[in-house]
């Protein structure tokens, strides 16, 4: 069984696609692309697809990940192209690597986001960010399936700043007044989402954008504690694939006629 890990996006209007909607669209794409999927056992077999850290509905993302299991070996890049052609524009498969290491979901320890606050002056956002970061705890409440839950949004935030407009990574034009926040947040339990941080900015500094924030996830993966950046979760598989290819090439040379034993 071969395992392939994919990175995909949710762009433009497709950011309103729910996780369940994407699952249905992706399974249809697998059938259209004639991918030799492995299936689960039982009375209702399902294709073996594992999702890692899906973004909330209404949030754009450049860094969504999943893993599929195949019954036949396929070239990752050729498979990526087939799946990308079979999905609607906005749900774009941008990378595919063969899985050589375990625990993709375990690597998703942090996310980097941009929050576009239309109608908010950057100076006002700067003041709110300073107040949020100065607080030891910032309690926010959110309705969950188990009812209203209150938790600390401050402890999960490792970086929060007002970014330059060119760094936004969003696909919407900038009005006269627009503040763009850069946020790096650890994946904790309960999960602290960008809207929780916005609630915290409101409670600590009365920051209340006149329109809903446009949120985009730029990256998710392991958190580099030294630099505070989110690193590539597919890098270990890419490195392992290159090492395996190098070893195979060396063995081919060694066993070829005239090669050294």
Strands (E), the chain: 2-10, 49-52, 60-70, 93-98, 110-118, 139-144, 147-152, 157-163, 178-186, 214-221, 223-224, 229-230
The pLDDT-based confidence of 242 (bands split at 50, 70, 90) is: confident
According to CATH, what is the number of the domain 109-230? 3.30.70
Average pLDDT taken over every residue of the chain: 90
Among 64-68, 69-73, 171-175, 243-247, where is mean pLDDT lowest? Answer: 171-175
Does domain 2-106 sit in CATH 3.40.50.300?
no
Buried b (16+ CB within 10 A) or exposed e, 42-68: eeeeebbbeebbbbeeebbbbbbbbbb
Answer whether 197's CB lies under 8 Å from 183's CB: yes
Same topology for domains 2-106 and 109-230, yes or no?
yes
Name the residue with tokens 């969504």. 64
pLDDT for res 168: 45
Q: How confident is the model at residue 261 (pLDDT cuts 50, 70, 90)?
A: very low
What is the pLDDT at residue 165? 56
Selection from 213, 218, 179, 216 nearest residue 198 by Cα: 213
What are the tens digits of pLDDT across the range 170-203? 445 554 689 999 999 999 888 899 999 999 999 9
How far apart, in whole angstroms, are the C-alpha atoms of residue 183 and residue 129? 10
pLDDT of residue 172: 52
pTM of the model as a whole: 0.87
pLDDT at 107 over 80: yes
pLDDT in tens, 4-28: 999 999 999 999 999 999 999 999 9
Helix, strand, or coil (residue 131): helix
Q: Model confidence at 144, in pLDDT bands (50, 70, 90)?
A: confident
What pLDDT, on a 0 to 100 scale, did the predictor assign at position 170?
47
Cα angle 241-85-110, degrees, rounded to a multiple of 5: 50
Check if the beta carbon of residue 75 is closer than 8 Å to that of residue 19. no
Q: How confident is the model at residue 169 (pLDDT cuts 50, 70, 90)?
A: very low
Provide the phi-psi class of 95: left if phi over 0, else alpha when psi is between -120 and 50, else beta: beta
Per-residue confidence (pLDDT) for residue 219, from 0 to 100: 97
Local structure of 9: helix, strand or coil: strand
Residue 157: pLDDT band (50, 70, 90) is very high
The reported pLDDT for the residue numbered 260 is 55
Q: Where are the domains of the chain?
A: 2-106, 109-230
- CB 6, CB 82: distance < 8 Å: no
Say what the pLDDT of residue 199 is. Answer: 96
- What integer is the mean pLDDT of 199-221? 95
| Confidence band of 53 (pLDDT split at 50, 70, 90) | confident
DSSP state of 56: P
**Residue written as tokens 């990308």?**
84
The whole-angstrom separation of Cα 17 and Cα 12 is 10
Beta-bridge partners for 117: 179
């Amino acid at each position: 069984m071969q395992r392939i890990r994919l990175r995909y996006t949710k762009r433009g209007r497709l950011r309103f696609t729910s996780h369940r909607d994407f699952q249905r669209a992706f399974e249809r794409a697998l059938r259209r692309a004639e991918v030799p999927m492995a299936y689960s056992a039982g009375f209702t077999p399902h294709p073996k697809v594992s999702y890692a850290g899906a973004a909330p509905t209404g949030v754009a993302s450049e860094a969504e990940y999943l893993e599929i299991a195949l019954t036949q070996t396929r070239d990752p890049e050729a498979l990526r192209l087939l799946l990308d052609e079979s999905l609607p524009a906005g749900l774009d498969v941008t990378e595919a690597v063969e899985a050589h290491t375990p625990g993709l979901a375990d690597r998703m320890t942090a996310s980097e986001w941009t929050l576009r606050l239309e109608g908010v002056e950057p100076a006002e956002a700067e003041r709110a960010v300073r107040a949020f970061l100065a607080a030891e705890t910032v309690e926010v409440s959110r309705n969950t399936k188990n009812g209203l839950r209150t938790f600390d949004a401050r402890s999960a935030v490792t970086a929060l700043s007002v970014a330059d407009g060119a760094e936004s990574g969003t696909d919407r034009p900038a009005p006269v007044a627009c503040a763009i926040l850069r946020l790096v947040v650890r994946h904790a339990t309960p999960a602290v989402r960008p809207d929780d941080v916005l609630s915290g900015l409101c409670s600590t500094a009365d920051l209340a954008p006149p329109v809903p924030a446009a949120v985009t996830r730029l990256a998710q993966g392991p958190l580099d504690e030294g630099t505070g950046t989110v690193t590539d979760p597919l890098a270990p598989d890419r490195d392992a694939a290159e090492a395996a290819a190098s070893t195979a090439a060396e063995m081919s040379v060694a066993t070829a006629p005239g090669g050294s034993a």
